[in-house]
A and B are shown apart, each in its own frame.
Chain A
Amino acid sequence: MGIVELQHLSKTFGTGDGQVHALKDVSLSVDEGDIYGIIGMSGAGKSTLVRCINFLEVPTEGEVVVEGRNMKELNEREIREERARIGMIFQNFNLLMQKSVLDNVCFPLTLHHEKKEDAQKRAQELLALVELTDKAQSYPAQLSGGQRQRVAIARALASNPKILLCDEATSALDPQTTKSILALLKRINEELGITIIIITHQMSVVREICRHVAIIENGSLAEKGDVEEIFTHPKSRAGQKLIIGGSDPENASAMRTVTELLESRKIRIVFSENSSYEPVIANMVLTIGQPVNILRADTKNVGGTAKGEMILGLPGEEEVQEKIISYLKDHNLSVEEVSGDVF
């Protein structure tokens, strides 16, 4: 049994004609120590989902079991106590703007009547963890976005939670800062053993640190499983849209025009175990003697291994196409055909 179990969760807002079904029968299980991504387009219901975990939103139907406790069976006070064991960080950081960094980190401890000296000592330790010791006396307004999120993380960890919920925690940050925040989350997961649940619309975030992922579309669970597995072979339409179409909707529409222009056969290749130092595509072009059209490429070097994907438009002759596909397969790349309508 996972540390967080969601069973047949549904959430409906409003009544009558104005009813909105934010969540429809979502079940998932998060194991202790995992980094679990929940991804979906905006409005898919993922924020509602994460708020059901700490009962900021009470689900209309279904069970939420956290650390073996069924949230529905707890009274108001017990729910508040349970919330203290679940840290949460937000897209807009949500720091107290009128309190210093140190007081912000102390805040959850103050709420639980911890002695001031003890709280400050703990806060200093946490600020050291997020590398902001020198900013203890600053105010949030004086910090950059990345620094504010670090303060928020320190604050979320103050009450020694077992679980950390991240609601679009990197969406307001630039790519460089996003990277450093994700690295920090990973370190927290590894060093403190805290289970992390990440809500995001960015596939890159999931790919970067998550081990498992659930894809939410229109309030329903489209697909869930191992990140590597889903990333390589997305089965659901929502999954394909997110992974192949790119996380960015604007990107996807730009892609459509390109692919419609080139009505050739297209394949998608996924890099997972190739050496970054081996120029696979260039070698293939040289070997076969036919050009390919790179319609989309999103790869990066992770510890010497190329990770990512590429979409190639193939030349017209079928014989050449087969040659290319078998060449790529021989080089341990996962190849699948894609048609125009996947975008």
Chain B
Amino acid sequence: MFSDPIVAMIIRGIGETLLMTLASTFFGYVIGLPWGVGLTITKKGGLAENPLAYRILDVLSNLMRSIPFLILLILLIPVTRFIVGTSVGTKATILPLTVSAAPMIARMVQSSLEEVDSGVIEAARAMGASTSQIVFHVLLVEGRISLISGATISTTTVLGYSAMAGIVGGGGLGDIAIRYGYYRYEAGIMVITVILLVVLVQVFQLIGNRLVNKLDRRR
């Protein structure tokens, strides 16, 4: 049905999508995890209550999440060019994807950590645990199931955003779908790429669910 160059292009597209998604999610967590921890502990009644710090983290996260990804992508072009050296291609897309994912991930992390039983935190305090010990030994450990579920959602969301990167020549399956399916009316290629995106989401979700089942000790 498809010629070899098109098959090769689609395979390359899968690789690019995976790279964008996983790298952006990873960097998103590098920023979003401490951000989420910060939100959790500086909140009123938190371990290191700090109204000013909370306000800054809170407002920043809301502000950044309210910018549509497509606009962010364009707004960040100069920054991307400065950091990555170019503003087109797969690598260049990772930066705006990360910037867009981080505040969302921070909120995911915050909501996961707030689920951790306050009684267990109190018990740790009663044992003489410091704030950082509570974060690393209690919050992140007891909240890990919820954190993994959150990571699954974040990854699939980033995957969805990565498809939009096609607009700026970002590469990946979304790029192919837009270029061939939308600009050139090649519905076949578009359907295939969409199916592949659906499969990828399913795979991420499956991996996430498996991990949750394997690691949860609450039953």
Chain A positions within 8 Å of B, measured between CB atoms, are: 54, 56, 80-84, 86, 88, 90, 92, 94-100, 107-108, 110-112, 139-141, 152, 155, 159, 165
User: Which positions in B face A, CB cutoff 8 Å?
Assistant: 117, 119-120, 122-130, 133, 137-138, 141-142, 144-145, 215-219
- Shortest distance between the CB of A323 and any CB in chain B (Å): 56
Q: Which residue of B lies closest to A76 (CB)?
A: B130
Bound-complex Cα distance A139 to B145 (A):
15
Chain B residues with CB under 8 Å of A110's CB are: 137
Complex contact A96–B126 (CB within 8 A)? no
- Which of A81, A94, A140, A155 is in CB contact (< 8 Å) with B128? A81
Q: How far is the CB of B134 from the nearest CB of chain A, in Å?
A: 9
**Contact A141–B122 (Cβ < 8 Å):** no
Whole-angstrom distance between the Cβ of A150 and the nearest chain B Cβ = 15
Q: Are B122 and A94 in contact (CB under 8 A)?
A: yes
Q: Are A56 and B127 in contact (CB under 8 A)?
A: no
Measured CA separation A296–B167 after assembly (Å): 82
- The answer on a CB contact under 8 Å between B128 and A97 is no
Cα distance A86–B141 in the bound complex, in angstroms: 24
Bound complex: CA of A110 vs CA of B134, how far in Å?
12
For residue A220, give the distance in angstroms from its CB to the closest CB of chain B: 25
B137 touches A111 (CB 8 A): yes
**B123 pairs with A97, CB closer than 8 A:** no
Contact across chains for B125 and A97 when beta carbons are under 8 A apart? no
Residue from the set B125, B133, B142, B216 with the largest chain A CB neighbour count within 10 Å: B125
Q: Would you list 17 pairs from A and B whose C-beta atoms are within 8 A, ordered by A residue?
A: A80-B128, A83-B125, A84-B128, A88-B123, A88-B126, A90-B122, A90-B123, A94-B119, A94-B120, A96-B138, A98-B218, A99-B141, A99-B217, A100-B217, A107-B127, A111-B128, A159-B128
* A96 CA / B136 CA spacing, docked (Å): 13
Could you tell me if A98 and B141 are in contact, using CB atoms closer than 8 angstroms? yes
Q: How far is the CB of B131 from chain A (nearest CB, A)?
A: 10
Shortest distance in angstroms between B125's beta carbon and chain A's nearest beta carbon? Answer: 6
Let me know if B127 and A111 touch, CB within 8 A: yes
**Selected contact of B133 from candidates A90, A98, A111, A165, CB within 8 Å:** A111
